[in-house]
Amino acid sequence: MMTPLRGATLSLCLSFAAHGQSILFEEQFDGTIGYNPDSTTALVGENDWVDFNNRFTTDFNAVEGYTTSTPGNETVLAAAVAAGQNDPQLRTDFVVDVERALVGRIEFRIRIDTEGDDDYDASDSINASQVSLFYTTAPYGNPGATIGPSPWALGAPDSIVAESNGWHLLTWNDNGGLKLGASDWIDGFRLDTVNNLPGTSFEVDRLTLYETQISAEVDPAGAIGPEFTLREEWEWNTDGSLDGWTPVNFDVPLPGGVSGGIVSGTSTTGDPQFISPPLNVLDVTTGRFIVELGINTDADDDGEKQLYWATDDGGINGDQRIILPDVPADDSAHVVRITYDGSGLGGRLTRLRYDPSDALGIDSNIDYIRIYSEGPEIPYNPPPFGELDPASPLGPEYLLVGNWDWDVDDDLDGWNPTNLDIEIPDTGGDTGVFSSAVFGEATTGDPNLTSPPLSVVPPGNGRVFLEIEFAADPDDTSGAQIFWRTAGNPFAQATSLVVPSIPFDGFNHTFRIDLTDDLGGPLVGIRIDPTNQLGSIVGIDAVRIYRDTTGNDYDSWAGSQTWTPGAPGTLENDDFDGDGVSNDDERIFGLVPTDAGSLSPISSTLNTDGDFSYTRRDPALTGATFRIFTSTDLSVWTEDTGATSTPSVGDLQTVDVELTATPVDGRLFVRVESP
């Protein structure tokens, strides 16, 4: 007997990046530090988190304070934003007492019922504007943490990672210590849990501060280890050439300013800068980098020196920098070595900026700058490219595999609106599905339209394009955002693209996204956030998905079938004929996807000699592999590694198999798997 269907084998690989940093402070929001919902009674020394100015209230479970998360079993701090409040704040009335310069990576775990449907799920996405985190360098006072300095904002997180049940982990990367503040110590926190969404419930689970792993030393005793590879180097050995570096407020007279392998310049303001050309130093699996500077300091130079860096073309900013230790002002050569010891740079290193002093008229000499990294480099895929009103159509090699043009009035064609008022059926107003378009009005600042489940498998070359055709509200300048997700993953900021402002000129406009190299698996969902402005009316005319058919065996095979390639039900994971076998499995085993009776690849059954035959499409075309398993009880299966397989010649092959396994009590079952 035989099991004729292809056995699907799922391989799940989880990858964890261990940053290995020591924890300086962690609040698990488990009740160890109390919570006071009444700010008028909150006093310093009681060690509470405080509802500042009583801007919170009970959540949809009638909770304000510590509770057990639902679903889940962890203790969290839960509340909701009171009606009319756009700036809720959770503050400390205790002294945190963490040295500011030691703080590196910061993590904050939170979930928000952004949909307002009294639950937390994958649709409750969070964007960078909805949560804010501040620190203070002097403690808050009485009552209710009302007294204290202006807090220092961390700014937008470097990453927002969606987890299960609506949880999101916000991370601020290690940038060599926190820079802003009037004191060397962090003495308080302020958490703005939900900005501009009155009435919204939230839960917070954890705030963790890790020690920085970015350090600098002057004239290090040892050499750089052999495990480090030199990635970039500038020695200025060509007189008169800056090798692509740009001085700003730093007078380097050419040609004499670059001579004998030394760059010599004088600060013309208190903010001199020496900026590198564009770089492309990839991140590495170990996260370990070294930047080394050979410098010669002026005898009058007793000021501060800094090194800035930019990653993933994000540009130089004040957060990604380190203040260098004091270098002896003795007119002698010195080496400054900056080590990123496991914290990494947060992506590709794309630019450096060295600020040699902080005063006017200081002479500085730079001998060399070198960049090293340890371990294998992490491959880099450029972010998806979006183009408004592309100049030319896609070539004929692209197959339309998904198409929605809403040509049936009052039919959303499987799309699901959230916070977007769409009248179904049309009642004659400004919204609804009519004239081959979806018209909706934003009922909050976070409306979206989510596709029905998709199953678009990228071709071998990965080339997939998404096009969205829509028109803008004349009063809306907020822009749109497009999200996409792959199997097993939620919609997240990491898989989204902001649409530039759509001109309001009475015409539809097309936004095309090149998803090549950015899917990493089947495309299973699209979400369109057409605006973030309450009351805006938007019109979406079409959504189209294209896949490159060049060299793709599935598309070649699909084109030979009696269906229209790209039509509903013709994608890989669909089952066009409803026989329980996916289209892709029918391709692999040489079956007919339009015939429900064609569901077994067995061409001759198992005989007493242990021989049988099955059909398949040539593995040279499909890339598939095949394994033979046997069983005597249909419970325990063992691979028959000694079985011999002899295929016929051609695109559709018949494979004759001779087993080595033998029956037990006259029973033997066999199955063929293509993992």
Are both 355 and 406 inside the same structural domain?
no
Q: Contact at 8 Å (CB) between 187 and 517? A: no
User: CATH code at 156?
Assistant: 2.60.120
Residues 244 and 361 in one domain: yes
Does a structural domain hold residue 248? yes
Which of the listed residues 211, 233, 266 is the one where a domain comes to its end?
211
- Domain end among 332, 354, 374: 374
pLDDT digits (tens, 9 = 90+) for 373-385: 998 888 777 778 8
* Average pLDDT score over residue span 255-265: 95
Sign of the CA dihedral 490, 552, 560, 625? negative
The confidence band for 15, taking pLDDT boundaries of 50, 70 and 90, is very low
Tell me the pLDDT tens digit for each residue of 173-215.
887 888 888 888 999 999 999 999 999 999 999 999 999 989 8
Q: What rounded mean pLDDT belongs to the chain?
A: 88
233 occurs within a structural domain = yes
What domain range includes position 642?
601-673
Is residue 557, in this structure, part of any structural domain at all? no
Domain match, 421 and 543 both? yes
Judged by average pLDDT, the poorest of 4-8, 83-87, 508-512 is 4-8
If asked whether residues 47 and 140 sit together in one domain, one would say: yes
**Contact present, 467 and 542 (Cβ < 8 Å):** yes
Q: Other CB atoms closer than 10 Å to residue 412's CB: what's the count?
A: 17
Structure tokens at 622: 């499909």
Which of 548, 573, 590 is the C-terminal boundary of a domain? 548
Are residues 625 and 612 both part of a single domain? yes
- CATH number of the domain encompassing residue 631: 2.60.40
At 444 the pLDDT is: 84
Examine the domain organization and report whether 327 and 276 are in the same domain.
yes
Asked if residue 346 has pLDDT above 70, the reply is no
pLDDT at residue number 427 = 65
* Confidence bin at 2 (pLDDT 50/70/90): very low
- Identify the pLDDT of residue 500: 81
226 in the same domain as 186: no
Distances in Å between the alpha carbon of 434 and those of 260, 428, 531, 666?
74, 10, 20, 66
For 510-529, what is each residue's pLDDT tens digit? 999 998 877 878 899 999 99
Query: Residue 325: is its pLDDT beyond 90?
Result: no
Predicted confidence (pLDDT) at residue 285 exceeds the cutoff of 80:
yes
Q: Is 456 helix (H, G, I), strand (E, B) or coil?
A: strand
* pLDDT for position 670: 87
369, pLDDT greater than 90: yes
Q: What is the pLDDT of residues 29-49, one digit of tens each?
A: 999 999 999 999 999 889 999
Q: Are residues 271 and 395 in the same domain?
A: no
What 3 state SS string does 57-106 have?
A: ECCCCCCCEEEECCCCCCEEEEEEECCCCCCCCEEECCCCCEEHHHEEEE
Q: What is the CATH number of the domain that holds 319?
A: 2.60.120.260
Confirm whether 510 is domain-assigned. Answer: yes
pLDDT given for residue 543 in this prediction: 96
- The total number of structural domains in the chain stands at 4
Q: Residue 322 corresponds to which amino acid?
A: I
Selected residue with higher pLDDT from 176 and 8: 176
Note whether residue 572 is domain-resident: no
Q: Is the pLDDT of residue 222 over 80?
A: yes
Residues 328 and 363 both lie in one domain: yes
Is 0.85 surpassed by the pTM of this model?
no
Query: What average pLDDT does the segment 291-317 reach?
Result: 86
**260 CB-near residues (< 8 Å, 6+ apart):** 239
Whether residue 397 is contained in a domain is answered as yes
Q: How far, in Å, are 5, 480, 570, 581, 630 from residue 606 at the CA level?
A: 15, 60, 33, 22, 11
Looking at the fold, whether 199 and 65 belong to one and the same domain comes out as yes
Q: What pLDDT does 4 receive?
A: 27
Residues 340 and 488 in one domain: no
Residue 8 lies in a domain: no
In a domain, 570, yes or no: no
Judgement on whether residues 341 and 430 belong to the same structural domain of the protein? no
